[in-house]
A and B are shown apart, each in its own frame.
Chain A
């Protein structure tokens, strides 16, 4: 890059000119910020204002600009200068809108603005416009693991968009669970009768597609690399393995049916007349093949009464069986009851349920079942007792609130749930030590990643995802799960899910080729670099990276797979020797900002409180508090961080050593219902800060001088209150004794 040339722009619009001495801000930028070029402008985001900046970049060769105007969240179209490094001093939302417009507040408001200008100047000088990620590789072939409906859909849809695909299927044939069904629940109007599965046609389409390769009786023996350059060893059951390269991966490894033999109280295993839903499908297919009605398994007798037991081994609060609901089973039982009713309306079919769950147009299908004479009874089944060729089903009738029974059931169908095929639980098995890696037959992906062989799991063993706003985001970049491995689902949902997962895989491969980050910092061109000569091989970065992006070489040095990195900076926060940084975000860019603040002496009665605020939630909340003109203490100096996980404890100790009186850290909620966009960042930060007490004691400081908060984006009222309460607390414990020693 050419020589650095700096410039600062101070806006006078939106009341900044009236509320602040902008000339003084310009002087601060020039004298203290050492900006080569400083301009004030009455309306910086106007076309003329922006043109001024553009001219300076083009004609004056400005490479680094500090914009002292509104929040970095505002006017992003106007202040878009991708070729240069840009910092923003938030004088509007962060100063004049969050400070009272009174004569008494004038001095502290100006001091706040002066400091933000100092900080923006200090920051930008330590930034570089990202030059681009070196881990760039283009490979648009996708690997799909699993050849059921989800896997085949992902493959076909990706192929239609022009991307080649390889399907690896463990079984000897494509089709997965759906191939074992006689019919499926309908996906189109009129939602009245079971529909053809369409699996045969889908297999045919896969076979006919020159863009799709299929490896049957094969598994993934090893996966290494990163988006754009995954290297995958595919092992055939017959022996032999081949290593192939892929751009991204869809994991559609499906589910297994919950083992009904764990339900002896429901008669399973005691009589062939008690089957699970898969067993009933098998009977239906066999019967259809013989063009005959479904017969009683024990003796081939006529079936006159069928009982469907919903939630068998599901929604179990005792902890013995599955705690969740598998979603599809109510509609599946209705469909299976129709197998009998459509063939012979005289067959009695009863569905025993606690809550019948047929959302959306499933309600029409339910109505169709009722009109065909399927009986729905709200009851909870206590026992299924086989005797000879019949079963007695005992249940609590929840409407009449009394015990009841259906005797002489010829068939009892247990609606058991879906158990995800999510591979090994990496929390429970040892992490992959370098040099000791071995393939594991129970793993789906056999990742050669430092953090383990499969995707991290969420509750109940499903593969983790950010499951409300961004359902596809796993913690392994470029690997997307689809279908029931992610959450229980039916065919219709699996098709949608797999189509979306195919898009995400395509996107990951395309962005890896451009060196751009994946969600949520999509398009970010910065990437972490490590100064290896300073590294002590402590492994914190490799262990703490929420995305498993960092491996270790034989000497235990970290190996950054930049295309797996999501740019949260957790590694930077973790590094005790501070050798990890991004070009535009580093220990230095933040450290320089906090050191640029003018800290008044201990007799000034003007404490300084550093706020490190997560840019995703806490910082917008602060902005919106300003927009609502909610005021807060003028003693805070706020620095947005990419994630609280990126906070290195050196910032905290530097701040305290520089005479700050307190440090507030604001991050997202962590724990089971985490809201951190980087999953583990706020949790790790919290853990690190829990250990800071020792440091404070060594510095002879009160432990209250560092405080960590969970802040949500809606906390527009609470955040100012937290600040004011903390400022009051600092006033109570007094000014830091370390002032003036820095």
Chain B
């Protein structure tokens, strides 16, 4: 069993998205030792797969670049990717954590030159584009990936492709004998920042996701607008690759619904308002966005952005919970059926594409968290009890936007520091 040097004054952060990175960096910049564990091959999390942030319409990778630079310049954080916490034993100030690391099949020698990707022919669905396209089975997750090191998809291990990748690498970076390994760490406090996942849209049966190709989710739409995405930033609909100019945004897809997620996912209204501006950016005055909503929750200063979108003549608002979606079998246009509650008109509206503003489900829901963590009935981690030393952060604790995730993760870092400082004082 391999070991990573850590002590009861080390803070473990689980999850390498914006919340986990924030908690890790804020603690490290206070002088604390941190181990950051991420289960995918790169840091960055879900925000790295967003095209723009509301309300500034700035780019998430801009903040990611700063956080990565903070990380590169700070020796207090050790990053373990492709790693998962499988067990936590012990108590406050004295935990033993078991971490399982999956093989990357690429070692530190990798220079990210890309020769292995050129050599292999197998392709796998691209998880960073929600499977909307494929990437080579030897890949750098994305342009901002950290560590900047390739990964071999396990599916090619044992195939000639793996050998081709190995042969193509001049730097001895490909190690096909890499095995899963288990590490044990001593840590004093734990921040659990495992984020969220989009609610399974196929479960909202009347909306036809999975049956109708032109019904997609808001996270997939982010990839369509992104220049790093499957369409190179062009808003093309899946059925025929035509430009999608008339787009319906359906709010509360899975949220505020006792059959799905009881909670309001907070970000979706703003996300859809933001996405209407992608359509405008792409098609100018010819864009036609329609937002079907119950309440527009543009809270606090975000009201400015809502007001701005309301002034945009390409955006219409319909106060309605869409009842069901049908498909024109010839054109594959989605047709939305429902009642506009402002005046009670029935409608059957045809659009090029439907974007479901999909709800946020806490990633810890249904997962056995190996720690002293209590989740509420929606699956969000509750505030730690007095005397606890495992703290939730970010969207694992609530449906939060980036700003509030960062706030919350910074707070979680202090709670963890309180524990390790107490441990330090007890020893001195």
Residues on A facing B (Cβ under 8 Å)? 13-15, 43, 45-46, 70, 74-77, 157-158, 160-162, 187-189, 315, 317, 323-327, 355-364, 367, 378, 398-401, 459-460, 462, 467-472, 487-489, 493, 496-497, 499-500, 502-504, 506-507, 510-511, 519-520, 522-524, 616-617, 620, 624, 627-628, 668-669, 673, 675, 677, 712-714, 716-717
B272-301: contact bitstring with A at CB < 8 Å (1 yes, 0 no)?
000000000000000000000001111111
B323 interface hit (Cβ, 8 Å): no
Q: Report B288-331 residues with CB < 8 Å from chain A CB.
A: 295-304, 307, 319
B342 touches A401 (CB 8 A): yes
Q: Which A residues are in CB contact (< 8 Å) with B415?
A: 157, 499
Q: Which B residues are in CB contact (< 8 Å) with A162?
A: 418, 421-422, 425
B100 interface hit (Cβ, 8 Å): no
- Return B182 CB to nearest CB of chain A, in Å: 24
7 cross-chain CB contacts under 8 A:
A14-B111, A359-B265, A467-B301, A469-B60, A487-B301, A673-B57, A712-B62
Quick one: closest B residue to A624, CB to CB?
A: B143
B45-72: contact bitstring with A at CB < 8 Å (1 yes, 0 no)?
0000001010111111111011101101
B194 interface hit (Cβ, 8 Å): no
Q: Report B367-424 residues with CB < 8 Å from chain A CB.
A: 376-378, 380, 382-383, 398-400, 402-404, 406-411, 413-415, 417-418, 421-422
Evaluate whether A399 and B341 lie within 8 angstroms (CB atoms) in the complex, with A510-B30, A673-B58 already known.
yes
Bound-complex Cα distance A323 to B302 (A): 10
Evaluate whether A716 and B143 lie within 8 angstroms (CB atoms) in the complex, with A359-B264, A364-B262 already known.
yes
Q: Which B residues are in CB contact (< 8 Å) with A504?
A: 26, 410
Most chain B beta carbons < 10 A, residue from A13, A46, A468, A471: A468
Task: Report the tally of A-B residue pairs with Cβ distances under 8 A.
Answer: 238
Q: Which B residues are in CB contact (< 8 Å) with A472?
A: 407, 410
A616 touches B264 (CB 8 A): no
B414 touches A506 (CB 8 A): yes
- Return A709 CB to nearest CB of chain B, in Å: 16
Quick one: closest A residue to B68, CB to CB?
A: A73
B332 interface hit (Cβ, 8 Å): no
Q: Which B residues are in CB contact (< 8 Å) with A358?
A: 264
Partner of B404 from the list A74, A493, A502 (CB cut-off 8 Å) is A493
Quick one: closest B residue to A189, CB to CB?
A: B376
Q: Which 5 A-B pairs have the closest CB atoms?
A: A469-B63, A500-B410, A499-B411, A359-B266, A503-B414
B227 interface hit (Cβ, 8 Å): yes
Quick one: closest B residue to A523, CB to CB?
A: B73
Partner of A507 from the list B29, B108, B341 (CB cut-off 8 Å) is B29
Q: Which A residues are in CB contact (< 8 Å) with B72?
A: 76-77
Partner of A325 from the list B30, B171, B226, B303 (CB cut-off 8 Å) is B303
B56 touches A324 (CB 8 A): no
Q: Which A residues are in CB contact (< 8 Å) with B382?
A: 188-189
Q: Which B residues are in CB contact (< 8 Å) with A364?
A: 262-263
- Other 17 A-B pairs with CB < 8 A, given A161-B418, A360-B400: A43-B111, A188-B383, A189-B377, A323-B307, A325-B303, A360-B398, A361-B378, A496-B404, A510-B30, A520-B70, A522-B29, A522-B70, A620-B61, A675-B58, A675-B59, A712-B62, A717-B227
Q: Which A residues are in CB contact (< 8 Å) with B378?
A: 361
B402 touches A469 (CB 8 A): yes
- Return B197 CB to nearest CB of chain A, in Å: 17
Q: Which B residues are in CB contact (< 8 Å) with A157?
A: 411, 414-415, 418
Bound-complex Cα distance A585 to B367 (A): 50
Q: Which A residues are in CB contact (< 8 Å) with B383?
A: 187-188
Quick one: closest B residue to A505, CB to CB?
A: B414
Evaluate whether A628 and B143 lie within 8 angstroms (CB atoms) in the complex, with A363-B264, A469-B406, A503-B30 already known.
yes
Evaluate whether A317 and B307 lie within 8 angstroms (CB atoms) in the complex, with A75-B111, A359-B297, A361-B263 already known.
yes
Bound-complex Cα distance A326 to B18 (A): 26
A360 touches B58 (CB 8 A): no
- Return B26 CB to nearest CB of chain A, in Å: 6
Q: Which A residues are in CB contact (< 8 Å) with B377?
A: 189
B111 touches A13 (CB 8 A): yes
A398 touches B300 (CB 8 A): no
Q: Report B232-275 residues with CB < 8 Å from chain A CB.
A: 232-233, 255-256, 262-266
B73 touches A522 (CB 8 A): yes
- Return A254 CB to nearest CB of chain B, in Å: 15
B148 touches A362 (CB 8 A): no
Q: Which A residues are in CB contact (< 8 Å) with B296?
A: 355
Number of chain B residues whose Cβ lies closer than 8 Å to a Cβ of chain A: 89
Q: Which B residues are in CB contact (< 8 Å) with A361?
A: 263, 376, 378, 380, 398
A360 touches B263 (CB 8 A): yes
Bound-complex Cα distance A398 to B293 (A): 14
Q: Report B137-167 residues with CB < 8 Å from chain A CB.
A: 143-144, 148
Bound-complex Cα distance A357 to B251 (A): 14
Q: Which B residues are in CB contact (< 8 Å) with A15?
A: 113
Q: Report B19-48 residues with CB < 8 Å from chain A CB.
A: 25-26, 29-31
Bound-complex Cα distance A75 to B173 (A): 14
Quick one: closest A residue to B109, CB to CB?
A: A46
B59 touches A714 (CB 8 A): yes
Quick one: closest B residue to A467, CB to CB?
A: B403
Q: Which A residues are in CB contact (< 8 Å) with B262?
A: 363-364, 367
Quick one: closest B residue to A460, CB to CB?
A: B301
B343 interface hit (Cβ, 8 Å): yes
A469 touches B66 (CB 8 A): yes
Most chain A beta carbons < 10 A, residue from B57, B72, B74: B72
Bound-complex Cα distance A317 to B402 (A): 27
Bound-complex Cα distance A397 to B58 (A): 38
Q: Which B residues are in CB contact (< 8 Å) with A489?
A: 300
Quick one: closest B residue to A418, CB to CB?
A: B300
Bound-complex Cα distance A712 to B263 (A): 35
A677 touches B66 (CB 8 A): yes
A325 touches B307 (CB 8 A): no
B58 touches A471 (CB 8 A): no
Quick one: closest B residue to A669, CB to CB?
A: B58
A713 touches B62 (CB 8 A): yes
Bound-complex Cα distance A327 to B407 (A): 17
B170 interface hit (Cβ, 8 Å): yes
Q: Which A residues are in CB contact (< 8 Å) with B70?
A: 519-520, 522-523
B264 touches A360 (CB 8 A): yes
A359 touches B399 (CB 8 A): yes
- Return A440 CB to nearest CB of chain B, in Å: 26
- Return A255 CB to nearest CB of chain B, in Å: 12
B228 interface hit (Cβ, 8 Å): yes
- Return B423 CB to nearest CB of chain A, in Å: 11
Bound-complex Cα distance A620 to B61 (A): 10
Q: Which B residues are in CB contact (< 8 Å) with A520?
A: 66, 69-70
Q: Which A residues are in CB contact (< 8 Å) with B256?
A: 363
- Return B192 CB to nearest CB of chain A, in Å: 15
Bound-complex Cα distance A499 to B73 (A): 25
B112 interface hit (Cβ, 8 Å): yes
Bound-complex Cα distance A506 to B29 (A): 10
- Return A474 CB to nearest CB of chain B, in Å: 14
A500 touches B65 (CB 8 A): no
B337-350: contact bitstring with A at CB < 8 Å (1 yes, 0 no)?
00001111000000
Q: Report B212-244 residues with CB < 8 Å from chain A CB.
A: 226-228, 232-233
Q: Which A residues are in CB contact (< 8 Å) with B18?
A: 469
Q: Which A residues are in CB contact (< 8 Å) with B111?
A: 13-14, 43, 45, 70, 74-75
Evaluate whether A363 and B343 lie within 8 angstroms (CB atoms) in the complex, with A315-B303, A510-B30, A712-B59 already known.
no
Evaluate whether A323 and B343 lie within 8 angstroms (CB atoms) in the complex, with A503-B417, A506-B30 already known.
no
B63 touches A468 (CB 8 A): yes
Q: Which A residues are in CB contact (< 8 Å) with B376?
A: 188-189, 361
B58 touches A488 (CB 8 A): no
Evaluate whether A327 and B342 lie within 8 angstroms (CB atoms) in the complex, with A161-B414, A360-B266 already known.
no
Bound-complex Cα distance A364 to B257 (A): 10
